[in-house]
Structures are given as C-alpha cells and as structure tokens.
Chain A
C-alpha cells in the first residue's frame, strides 16, 4: 500500500513565445485529499499540471513535493516521485494491446517479458478494479471511453501516490463516472493517494472534491474548501460573473420530411468488435434524434460511416432521398456537417493554423457554392476572426497551429466550423466534450437553435442528461444494433439505462 503525498506549487509562470499561459500561480494540495482544479477553457489548467509532471518546463516558480523542494525537469523525474497523470489527449500506444501498454508503462520492465505470468498478474489486478477493460485487445480499436478507463487503470496499476486526472469523466457514462470517482475518492481518503482532478462538471465537484483552486486566464482566481463554496460562487470565480444556465427553448414540431434515412446498414467487424447492424434510423427536419448507448457499442462506427471514414458493407444511407456517401461534393450539396469524436484527430489537421482549420469546409467554395481555385486568404481570415469571436475561442493567435490549443478550444473551433452557415443535416458526437459550463450552455442553445430553424440533428452522446435535454426522439444502441426507440418526452432514464446495458 502506498502513502499519499502532498504537493505545493509556488509562483509558477509559463509562457509559450510571447503568450503567457500561466503567471504567478500557486496551488496547495493536502496529502490524501481530492483537489479540484477548475477554470474556463484555456485557463491554463492542463498547462499547470503538465509543468508539475515534467512534460513542460516552468519559466518561474517551484514545486514542493512531500515537503521537499523538487526539481522536475523530465517526466521520469515526476515518475520517480510517484506523481502520475491521465492526460486529456491520450498517451497509450494504439497498436499495442492493453496488457502490453500496462506492462510497458512500468519502470522495471524485465528484459524478457514472460507474458503468461504477466497476464495472470494483470487479471488478478483487474479483479480489484471497479471497471473492466479487455486485456488482449489493441488500444487503437477501443472507443474513447474505454481508452480513458484504460488510462486510469494504468495509473492505479503503477501505484501512484499522487495522481492528476485531466477531465477524466468526459467520456464516461454517469454511473461509470460516479463509480470511478467514488473509488478514487475512497483511495484518497484512506491515505493511499492524493488526487487532483480537472473538471468542468460542478456536480462532480460538489460530490467528490474536498478543496478547489480556480484559474482564470492564466492567473489565480481563488481557492477554498468546497463545503464553504456553492456552485454559484465557483461559477462566478471561473468566468468572473454569476451565470444562470437556462434550458434552450424548443420551438415547433418535427416536420414529416425525413432528411436522413439509414437502413439495413452493416459494417465489417473490426478488431474483435462486432460491426454495425442497423435496421433503420430516420431523422426528420426540425428534429433532434439522440443516440444513447454505453461507449463502444457502435456509435463511433456509425459516426465514421456517416462522416465517410468507414465503408459500409451493405445497406443504404440517403439524405433528402438521394444516396449519400459523404463525399465532399455531396456534403456540400446537402449541407451535411459532422462533429466527430476526438475532433483534433478526426476533424482537424493539427499542424495547420487555426484559420486554415476553421476554413476546411469552405476554403474552396466561392459565392453560391461555386468552385474556387484561388484561395481568398483575406476572406478566410475574416471568417475565422468572426468565428473566434462568436465562439470565444482562446488561441495564442489565429495563425497558431490548432494542435497547441487547449482541449476545449479545439472543440469550440470544430463546433464553430460545423455550425457555420446553412446546415440541413448535423451529425454531432459528444458536442460538449471538454467544454466549460458556459460553453456547454451556449453549445446546447446553438444546437437547439439550429433545430428550431429546421436542421435535422443526429446527436450521439454518452451523456444521458444531454440527450434527455435536447432530443425529440431517443434511440438506444447496444452492440452495434438499435435496440430501442422512444419519444424523449416522458422517457424514463432508468428504462433507457437498462436498454443501454442490453437488458430488454
């Protein structure tokens, strides 16, 4: 059994070029506590913990670990001190199995790995975990939620004494999140481990966190014990003003016109996972169809088929009655937009600038959908500036590569691009992944506004609350199949939950 250690940060400063991501930030984490690190998108939370973990080098200030001043220059230094982290961007090796990833993350890997005994040991370890991950499956074929669980399991496997979780629950279902957070909190309170958790979900803060530190635009905005602070205080600290989220208003009823029709869709099984086998899904104009399901039950495949990233084996997808294969011409003709899972990987070119990425849909399209051969650089920059302002994207500059943006800001960029202009069909996967409270409310309002204006929306989300709030109709997926369909009004979350787990 390990013993928890405390960490203190004093006067930390960090800049990227002339951009100050952190200035004079201090943080004090008690051993054996759960500490929340809060702040809006781009506030500098990830940067702060990456400095602590040796991923970045600080420009000013120092860290005190377990009462002693620690110089952390490399990840290995943090490792030796027992500090660990689950990054917002995944750091597992996609082509390796879960077991290989776990074993290789250890410090003392033997020269020759005896897989039989390692697997046996891992199985025994996995018995003690609150959630299971398959050991002999390639990480690349896991859905985001399962990969996130694997990241957490890996840190517990490494017996960390201090663990940072960067938005760990964004891809977990609520029961999974509750279970996972409950487990780490109990571990912390038993004195085995100290936890720093970065999150945008105030409910989680209230239920699982002891103390918080709030950052705003790279500076300290406050700190204190959760018992003394209510959600309103926290929100005010985070965004500098009190904020009352209101549910977006639904106007009008779905029209009879079916805009997206998926029927008899099948895909090949992939890496030990069943392929899709969907009888039919229809999305009408002015309607939001929410697809609920535990992560890894085919939602990712469905988005990939609709986004043109995965071929269908059989079946048909039609938009406005015409066959749809997600070519650029077709998506332009029918105004189909897609917000995929993991947008940095699936919807962006990380090394291209924010301006270029914001214009990926329209850079070659002139007025009236005409074809454009010469790029209109000035127009692209102007459009990007508008989107940056309208969506509150925080970027060092419009010409920074999009890969350096904070998680939430990448999400905002892709949202801005996909919601811009006329949209007839919108396919969104986990639209609020990694967004702060204010941005979540704005995004939901925007999706609802698009619906009210007549857009057909297919919303794939692992957040059941989000589906219940936004959808007109709910479809439940399990193992690649549609297992249940119901109107959202008056739907019973318990019943949906049962279908999600395959109990029909």
Chain B
C-alpha cells in the first residue's frame, strides 16, 4: 500500500512538473499584460497557435529550439495585433481577446492539418534522476529545459517589476492613468509592448505542449490552459513568483487523474481529470472572500474599473 502511495506521489510530482509548465508561461504572459492595465483572453489562441508553429518548424528544420523561437515570434505577432487594436478608441479588450482566441485557434487548425500525422523532433529532457536506479524516479526527474526557463522568467519578471525602469513604468501605466499622464508616459505604447511580449511567453507555453508533453500536435492539445491562466493570475495576486506556485498547484491537480491510473485506480477517471477546474473554482472562491478589493489588482484593468 505504502508502495503505491509513493508511486502516486512520484507520478504526481513528475506530472505536475510537466503539466505546470504551459500554465506557468501563459500565466506569466498574462501577468505581464495585466500589469500594464489590459487583459488578454486571446492567450488561449496564442497557446494553440504557438503549439502548431513550434511543431511545424521543428518538423521542417529538425531543430526543436527553432520551433520554440518560432512559437514565441507567432505569439509576439498575434499579441501585437491585440495590443494595436485595443489602443484604438472604444475597443473593449475582453471582446477583442475573444476574437483573438478564435482567430488563433482557427489559424492553427487550418495550417496545422498536414502536421497531425508526421512526427517532429521533440525537446530533450534533462535527466536530474541519473543517480537513481529506479525507473520511476528517473522518469519523474526528467525535467524539460523549458520548465527551468519558465522559473527563470518568473524570477526575472519579478525583478523587472520591482527594480527596472521599464517594469516600474508598466506598473504605473497599469495602475493609474492619471499618474502616467502626469509623468508623460506613453500609455498606449507601453501597453502594446507588454501585450506583445506577454503573448510571446504564451506562445512558448504552446511550444512546450507540442514539443515536450504531450509532445504531438493535434486539435485537442490545449484544454483551456490559456483561459485558466487568467484565473491563475488572479490568485497569484499579479505576482510572477506566485505564478510559479499556482502553476505547480494546477499541475499537480492536473496530474492527479493520470497518476491514479498508474496504480490501477480507474473509477472516477473523468472526475479526476476535472481536478484543475475544481481547484480553479475553489481557490477563486477562497481568495475572493473577505477582502474589500483584490489586493494587487492593477487599477486600470477593465474588469476592475
């Protein structure tokens, strides 16, 4: 019995490292965008497009890293479109985000058709479990380099928001339009850059999906990670470091179903697969209680104003 508990825990650790990575990238991207006072629901579309572009590029060039770069570029362009359109007068960023989401998935499905069958070169894992003889441990500690990149990006973003001129400017624009005007900051340009860069991060999250785990391209690849990232950012309190913890929590919840399967528990299969969504709901309810307003929410977000 204790053996199977250990197996489940190990499988959950392994799973959570894998499942959490796309969450991490999309939530960091969303966090960056929202800090500038704009919301981007289009990141779901960016995620899917990123996955397709990464897979196709890796297949054509043989280099998965070229695929990651291409996915980031695709995100940059799609996010840039969102940023540009939203800076026009009277454009609602939520509605525009939904349009971008549909456009992104549509483009990905259209151009991705020929890549469903062939197999591209995937990203290699780093074997942190080399010291162990147990295949489960080795498997659990096979970590994708993108996960480490994500952690570094979170720390970098946190530092950027607190100790760089660019980061502080993004926060001013996102929190108080009056202050930004009084300081003469270029509001639209700042938001444009934050949105485009945020989407580039989301695109990398997509590359992880198709080039590492699950490691293939098909139309059912994303199951709403891009949208759940918005919830993730809320209970990370718009703090990139918290995004790491939140993503790991989501990853663990997402890994629950498959891990239980490894020890032969198959009842409630679909129930366990719903765990991340249940976690989303529960966490949102718990964190939204009590307080007068959401601590840390950028003042200019259209949902908060």
- Give residues in A with beta carbon < 8 Å to B: 55, 74-76, 79, 87, 89-96, 100, 103-105, 109-115, 309-311
Chain B residues, CB < 8 A from A79? 184
State whether B292 touches A104 (Cβ < 8 A).
no
Complex Cα distance, B171 from A74, in Å, reads: 21
Question: Which of B98-106, B130-138, B162-170, B271-279 makes up part of the contact surface?
Answer: B162-170
Contact status A93-B175, CB under 8 Å: yes
B292 — which chain A residues lie within 8 A by C-beta? 309-311
Pair B290/A95 contact, Cβ less than 8 Å: no
State the CA gap A91–B184 with chains docked (Å). 12
The B266-295 residues at the A interface (CB cut-off 8 A) are 290, 292
B145 in contact (CB, < 8 A): no
Known: A94-B176, A94-B299, A96-B171. A115 touches B182 (CB 8 A): no
Please tell me which one of the listed residues A75, A91, A94, A112 contacts residue B163 in the complex, with CB atoms under 8 A apart.
A112
B62 within 8 A of A: no
Residues of B contacting A: mostly: helix
A105 cross-chain contacts in B, Cβ below 8 A? 183
- Do residues A95 and B168 form an inter-chain contact, with CB atoms below 8 A? no
Q: Please give the distance in Å from B287's CB to the nearest CB on chain A.
A: 16
With a CB–CB cut-off of 8 A, which chain A residues contact B299?
94-95
* CB <8 Å contact, A111 and B166: yes
Contacts of A115 in B (CB 8 A): 162-163
Other-chain residue from A87, A96, A309 in contact with B175 (beta carbon distance below 8 A):
A96
Chain A to chain B contacts (Cβ below 8 Å), 30 pairs: A76-B184, A89-B178, A90-B178, A91-B176, A91-B179, A91-B182, A92-B179, A93-B172, A94-B175, A94-B176, A95-B171, A96-B168, A96-B171, A96-B175, A103-B168, A104-B165, A104-B183, A105-B183, A109-B168, A110-B165, A111-B166, A112-B163, A112-B164, A113-B163, A113-B168, A114-B163, A115-B162, A309-B292, A310-B292, A311-B292
Say yes or no: is B296 at the interface (Cβ < 8 Å to chain A).
yes
How far apart are B257's CB and chain A's nearest CB, in angstroms? Answer: 38
Q: Give Cα A91 to B171, complex, Å.
A: 14
Complex-state Cα separation, A75 to B183, whole angstroms: 7
User: Nearest Cβ distance between residue A367 and chain B, in whole angstroms?
Assistant: 35
> Contacts A75-B183, A110-B165 known; A96 to B290 CB distance under 8 Å?
no
Cβ contacts under 8 Å, B172 to chain A? 93, 96, 104
For B162, list chain A residues within 8 Å (CB): 115
Contacts of A114 in B (CB 8 A): 163
Which of A55, A76, A96 has the largest number of chain B CB atoms within 10 A?
A: A96
A110 to B165, CA, bound (A): 7
Which B residue sits closest to A76, measured CB to CB?
B184
Min Cβ gap B14→A in Å is 38
Report B145-184 residues with CB < 8 Å from chain A CB: 162-166, 168-169, 171-172, 175-176, 178-179, 181-184
Q: How far is the CB of A405 from chain B (nearest CB, A)?
A: 16
- Measured CA separation A79–B182 after assembly (Å): 10
The docked-state distance in angstroms from the alpha carbon of A114 to that of B165 is 11
Given contact pairs A91-B179, A95-B299, A104-B169, A111 touches B184 in the complex (Cβ within 8 A): no
Q: Knowing A94-B176, A311-B290, say if A75 contacts B182 (CB, 8 Å).
A: yes
Closest partner residue, chain A, to B292 (CB atom): A310
| B183 surroundings in chain A (CB, below 8 A) | 75, 104-105
Nearest B residue to A74 by beta-carbon distance? B184
Contact of B298 with A by CB under 8 A? yes
Chain B contacts for A87, CB-based, 8 A = 182
CB of A79, distance to nearest CB on chain B (Å): 7
**Nearest A residue (CB) for B168:** A104
